Every structure is written in C-alpha cells, then in structure tokens.
Homo-oligomer: A and B are copies of this chain.
C-alpha cells in the first residue's frame, strides 16, 4: 500500500458516461474515496445531498472560498460549483486514493497544486457521433444546447492530450477495469 495518497482527476465530455463509470468503479473498489463537489444550485428531486453534491448556500460557499477551503470553483449561469479542499487533504495525508470528477480547466489547476499526487484520467467517447447520439437520447436538450455541448466536447477532447491516461469508453465494464488497472499499478 502507498503511504502517499493519490488524487485521481476524472474528466471527459458531458454524455461520455463519467457518472455511471464512477458508480461502477466505487462499487468495485469501495475503499476509494469520492470527493463530492459543493454547489449553490438547488437540489433536483432525484439527487441526494452529500452524494451528488453538497448543496450549500452562496454565503457558505463564499465563506469557504475566503477561508481557503475551496480548491477550485467555477460559475455556470448563476450557480457556483467547487471542490472542497479539506476532505481531500485529509484523505491524501492518510494515504487514501481519492477520486474527483472535474472538468478540464479545474483538472489543470488541481494538477498544479498536487503535482505529485495527481493521476489525470480522461474518458473519451467511442466517437463524436456516439457522443452526439447519447446527448440526443437524453432528450433533455434543445438543438441549440446540443450544438453548444458538442462544441465544448470538441475543445475538451483537444485537452485530453494533457492527461496521463485516456480511456475510450466503448464498454462500461471494460473501461472501469482499465481505470482499476491504472489505480492498481
């Protein structure tokens, strides 16, 4: 076992299946710590506080930022999303493996803060066409949103070059096994 913890940065375009993959991964390796993000947006009905996000007030969020309690944060629309620092530092100091779902810019910043501990994994869709189809199948997007998401996806795929590992998610089970192989290394 490693004395030093590892911080697994888990990125990939929207629709690539990060959440499902993360679920499988955490079931297969229950000892992995999952860093849950904080957000100021409202909880949706199907979401669980502390599992999907920690849903907190804007005041609380800003207070955490002021107290150096947020590793990185970003604003989408009117809502803030961020990564709490304390649990990560605690787990890493205990030698745990911590996994963190994070978009490409956040990953870049965190990698600079934890150059020794970071293992950056990018989840790639099997093809651009499959990604588009997956986003369409969700049925929650209008055409304009879809086009925007596909543009963001393309620019994220360009950033995959800066990741330590790239895994093509053509099959959830084998993609999960590839992540585990990296973590067991």
Contacts and interface: CB of A to CB of B under 8 A. Distances in A.
Interface in A143-185: 154, 157-158, 160-168, 170
A82 interface: no
A125 interface: yes
Stoichiometry (number of copies): 2
A168 B121 CA distance: 11
A102 interface: no
A7 interface: no
The main secondary structure of chain A at its interface with chain B is mixed
A124 interface: yes
A43 B168 CA distance: 38
A128 interface: yes
A127 interface: yes
Nearest to A128: B161
Contact of A160 (B131, B160, B165): B160
Nearest to A127: B162
Contact of A170 (B128, B157, B164, B168): B164
A124 B160 contact: yes
A169 to B, nearest CB: 11
Interface string A1-28: 0000000000000000000000000000
A161 B131 CA distance: 10
B168 A164 contact: yes
Across the A-B interface, the 6 shortest Cβ-Cβ residue pairs: A166-B166, A127-B162, A157-B161, A128-B161, A158-B158, A124-B161
